[in-house]
Amino acid sequence: MDFLHTEPEQLIAIARRALAHWQWPADCRIELLKLRENAVYGVTTGDGRRAALRLHRPSYHSDAALRSELQWMAALGAHGVPTTRAIATPGGDWLVNVPVPGEGEQVPVDLLEWVDGQPIGSAENCSFEGEEAIESMYAEIGRLAAAMHEHSAGWPRPAGFMRQSWNLEGCLGPQALWGHYSALEGLSAAELQLFERAVGVVRERLGAFGEASDRYGLVHGDLVPDNVMQGPGGLVVLDFDDCGFGWYLWEFTTALFWHIGQGSFGAAWRGYLRGYRSLRELPEAQLELMPAMFMMRALVYMGWMHTRRETETAAQLRDPVLQTSVELAKALLGEA
């Protein structure tokens, strides 16, 4: 089922059928909040109860992977990391599958506690009030990332826990999780050759870095401004849809990526490092890998823009991401 080509009324009907599993009233107000990987709705009852209902794109994640995501979110919340939590059905399940009439498939759905506030920004717009505000905010983001990684490193994962891996093959291999960068439409032969040479450097450096437990584990994987909420009590981490196994530096890379080339980059870098190091060690030697990490992140986004090419977001971000990718590749190869 392709959400982008599904009539809004059909998605709303699926949402209402899903809410019946939680015994929420049939006359709940339902409003679309986000339509990208998933369809996310805000639902409100007549007496003021609120929650976020997620319709997951079929076949993107297995039920086991989706339940694993919710298990880690719950464990992080119990550990003191501010995030939302899944609401169980009266039968005790966090995930339900709603049949799509006439299509022979089911849509996985979960219901999450409501979080008041606004995202701190977006991939399309990383503007903030000023350098001091950025550094302060990213110090808190870095601290939250370190708290997640501390939990990740010591958490005995439940039986059957299953998430994707943001390793070299997951990011750059023929079956890359978000699609292979080389499939992006309109790349020139010179650009493809440039990226191939850059990938060689990335593979060499990250291969040598390795995946020891002090540097690789369970990460949020998408700590972009869209997924960090400024709430009444401080920042809250949302949207663990892309959580998986990867380098802890991957979190830093993703959090900073949309500031590359912006005046905000230095302040965001300083803030994240300060906040992260307030809870967890991050050696200077590891920071030498960041150019390779940024390059890999850029190529992952290029793959995403190919596989999600029909979305407005992919169309809007294609040119700036491609330009950033070329600049990162040249810098990595010493050709800037």
Q: Is 41 left (phi over 0), alpha (psi -120 to 50) or beta?
A: beta
Write out pLDDT tens, residues 23-39. 999 899 999 998 877 89
pLDDT at 301: 97
Cα-based distances in Å from 84 to 35, 79, 88, 164:
19, 13, 13, 21
* Residues paired with 55 in a beta bridge: 39, 109
Give the whole-angstrom CA distance, residue 203 versus residue 35: 34
130, 267 in Cβ contact below 8 A?
no
Return the minimum-mean-pLDDT range out of 74-83, 191-200, 302-311.
302-311
Closest CA to 53 of 64, 65, 39, 67: 39
Please determine, for residue 126, whether its predicted confidence score (pLDDT) is greater than 70. Answer: no
Angle of CA points 221, 224, 230, to nearest 5° = 120
pTM score, whole prediction = 0.94
Per CATH, 3-114 and 119-332 having the same topology is answered: no
CATH no., domain 119-332? 3.90.1200.10
Q: Note the pLDDT of residue 127.
A: 56
Per-residue pLDDT, 59: 83
Specify the fold of 3-114. Phosphorylase Kinase; domain 1 (3.30.200)
CA 311 to centroid of chain Cα atoms = 17
Please write the tens of the pLDDT for every residue from 202-251.
999 999 999 999 999 999 999 999 899 998 999 999 999 999 999 999 99
Q: Is 46 exposed, middle or buried (0-12, 13-18, 19+ CB in 10 A)?
A: exposed
Using only C-alpha atoms, what is the Rg of the chain?
A: 20
pLDDT of residue 7: 82
**CB-based contact 229:238 (threshold 8 Å):** yes
Helix axes 290-307, 312-332, angle to 10 degrees: 150
Phi then psi for residue 70, to 5 deg, are -70, -35
Residue 333 burial (CB count, 10 A): 14
Which H/E stretch holds residue 320?
helix 312-332
Hey, how many other C-beta atoms are within 10 angstroms of the C-beta on 49?
A: 12
User: Span 157-167, mean pLDDT?
Assistant: 97
pLDDT at 242: 95
More confidently predicted of 59 and 1: 59
What is the Cα–Cα distance from 131 to 42, expressed in whole angstroms? Answer: 33
- Calculate mean pLDDT across residues 263-282: 96
Q: Where are the domains of the chain?
A: 3-114, 119-332
Percent of the chain exceeding pLDDT 70 equals 96
Confidence of residue 131 (pLDDT cuts 50, 70, 90): confident
